Structure 1
């Protein structure tokens, strides 16, 4: 009897397995990005994916939002050649991820890639490897109410000397000229990333761009960047709690600070503290008076396809769906940024005119992505903090930067 019961059990189990195997299984596509789960861009992307999945009979797309260790996770996946089917390239589609990505020049939507972002995502062979859903445009956020009180016209700030004069005027009315939120080290790293191009790259006398790209680090020129940060600290132009502060948006919105070295998203956040505040952003200044001031452009939300994905065909089909004008518009609007494709339009609200920049400015890529080896960002943050705290002299900070530059360039 036991044998009969066991035999029947195996038959039922086998029949169940046979039935399960007879059901067509959907292919699972994984897409990830560096955006955290609650960021507007992640929410918008999930909504697009949900709509896509409704109409798919053989594919299911799963979105895995990023976390604080996204870069380290991606480096591990590159080392083991086990990348997601689609992933966010967060500014590194060329210099870090290119060899893992499928070229996208032959996609129908490629003709619409915005000229404002195309040079940044294109390699020397005129190929690009990521779908730019929006364009990260970086300028210096400011509070106009504070600047007017200090008798500073933000549009008149063209050079680094103009900037320092403006900071002194702001300090004289009892307002913190620049708020650094060192608890998030990005604002300290951003001083380097944003100001260095105007000091040593866009400079006719001794430009360092080609040297850096060719692995040559000029310590004398780099000292100039550290001296600029030291001046901000010594002159009292930054908040006293620059290394521990964590209230940048509130400081800008409530008029406790005039400028931030954070992205323009801080302006939107600042409005939550003071809806009546007048805030905007300006181009970054150059040392060379003959050079135009500049904005930094780069990838914000950009997605590529792993070239060795077992589901590459389906991944490219989803990317094409994501590139539809209505979806690009949705993603760009979520970040309140211009769209990465010219056949889409984002809703910028009160910032519509702010992003209508024209050709009176220069446009450059993010300094660390363009000119420094991968992994240099952490060094920029640490040496900047060292100068501000007084733990590093300008020369010591330069020496540390050179050591890491030489080490990382050979990786």
Structure 2
């Protein structure tokens, strides 16, 4: 590898006998056909057991905060069972998606990585099928990273978006019950503000923390999981009265009322976790994955709560269920067997989903996170997203459409309608140029 790596200093191996049995029992249409198609390859990659598998692999990870900490425990436990696979951890830079694309363009892929935003049709160019792991009947969002009937990516965990809050901050501000309507939410924000607590940490400057406002919330407002793909059918996907305009207007309203950070152009992600933990800030609107990070930043689990964002006044909001990063194995890896073994172990045995605060990626595992029980007690329906239409992705790329950046413009613009007009024009032009 040409990149600087962080080595675990540990060699590891995984028993692979379960992989063979898993192929035989896979009854899913895509996975079953893929397993049968790749019988010869599957025999070579899964018949080996224990110490028969060896090799050195690299894992490009976005969780740089776990290097030297939790990952050490994972690798130690992996090593206790399987001594002959050496795993090196490569930390990503701030923008994982961009770094991964650069690596793909240079044909210098790590053995194990997360799939960046590319069309599913491109998956076979870079990655090996994972149907022979024997997990196809157990994985959630199975169809999200599929090409030609084969699974190329498996989600590392799932999230629902909602309000993560400091219970003591709520109590100090006199908030006795979690808000169930938008008006109640605004009232709670005002109470926090009057108490000297920043109501909602947006991390506006970093852009990516705005994802839920532009990817999850619009489809919830529209009560349509396919709403993001409906852009394919119009030259004006962004209007003030549809899901996009309404979602960004809610964020704009919070900013105008002084319920976000005082200077939203100089926010700090790592500091915000400490500020939520200490009660200096009251809330996040993020996925459940951030809960354990807040706890780790200096508070206790029983001081952190989680409830659905009440984006309207109906009293019965829905919440989005979405996958996080998808594990993948580079097809040109010199140690595909070892890389697949590591992916399977991470999914089944590492416990990463509990540490990360995820809803488990395997359907037969239950979350240990108490905050998810609180969230579900509110009765919110979980709306599962749909696979991105590749043509919509092509048009978005052609238009250089970056929805979190659009939200930044919208919130700060003197006239937000002009922002929508600008991006409608870009979309219409790209839509005309992309054949579909």
What pairs up with 1:68-107 in 2 under 5 angstroms? 68-89=94-115, 94=120, 97=123, 100-107=126-133
Offset at residue 172 of structure 1 (A) = 5.0
What pairs up with 1:230-309 in 2 under 5 angstroms? 230-246=252-268, 247-264=271-288, 266-271=290-295, 272-275=297-300, 278-287=303-312, 289=314, 292-300=317-325, 302-309=326-333
Q: 1:153 to 1:133 in 2, by over 3 A?
A: same
Contact 1:35 1:42 in 2 (8 A): no
Offset at residue 331 of structure 1 (A) = 2.0
1:104-149 deviation digits (Å, cap 9, x = unpaired): 3343232222xxx325735587653223343233322122334344
Aligned with 1:110: secondary structure? Answer: coil
Offset at residue 152 of structure 1 (A) = 5.4
Q: 2:231 aligns with which of 201, 212, 225?
A: 212
Contact 1:383 1:400 in 2 (8 A): no
For 2:185 and 2:400, the matched residues in 1 are separated by 25
Q: 1:75 to 1:392 in 2, by over 3 A?
A: farther
Aligned to 2:32: none
Q: 1:231 to 1:74 in 2, by over 3 A?
A: same
Offset at residue 99 of structure 1 (A) = 5.1
Aligned to 1:361: 381
Aligned with 1:111: secondary structure? Answer: coil
1:356-388 deviation digits (Å, cap 9, x = unpaired): 679741233499999764699983333333344
Offset at residue 335 of structure 1 (A) = 1.5
Q: 1:29 to 1:367 in 2, by over 3 A?
A: closer
For 1:377 and 1:361, the matched residues in 2 are separated by 33
Q: 1:351 to 1:194 in 2, by over 3 A?
A: same
What pairs up with 1:394-409 in 2 under 5 angstroms? 394-402=416-424, 405=427
Offset at residue 216 of structure 1 (A) = 4.8
Q: 1:183 to 1:107 in 2, by over 3 A?
A: same
Unaligned runs of 5+ in 1: 1-25
Task: Indicate whether 1:35 and 2:63 are aligned.
Answer: yes
TM, length-normalised to structure 2: 0.68
Offset at residue 190 of structure 1 (A) = 4.0
Task: Indicate whether 1:336 and 2:357 are aligned.
Answer: yes
Unaligned runs of 5+ in 2: 1-53
Task: Indicate whether 1:191 and 2:213 are aligned.
Answer: yes
Aligned to 1:326: 349
Provide the aligned C-alpha RMSD in A: 4.2
Task: Indicate whether 1:384 and 2:404 are aligned.
Answer: no
TM, length-normalised to structure 1: 0.71
Q: 1:374 to 1:102 in 2, by over 3 A?
A: farther
1:74-117 deviation digits (Å, cap 9, x = unpaired): 2133334443332122677958746533333343232222xxx3
Contact 2:145 2:154 in 1 (8 A): no
- Computing the radius of gyration from Cα coordinates, the structure with the larger value is 1
For 2:285 and 2:174, the matched residues in 1 are separated by 20
Offset at residue 270 of structure 1 (A) = 4.0
For 1:264 and 1:408, the matched residues in 2 are separated by 35
Contact 1:29 1:60 in 2 (8 A): yes
Offset at residue 321 of structure 1 (A) = 4.2
Offset at residue 245 of structure 1 (A) = 2.6
1:141-199 deviation digits (Å, cap 9, x = unpaired): 12233434444522x52x54553454345445554322223343333444333433333
Q: 1:141 aligns with which of 141, 164, 179?
A: 164
Q: 1:351 to 1:232 in 2, by over 3 A?
A: closer
Aligned to 2:21: none
Contact 2:307 2:375 in 1 (8 A): no
Offset at residue 243 of structure 1 (A) = 1.9
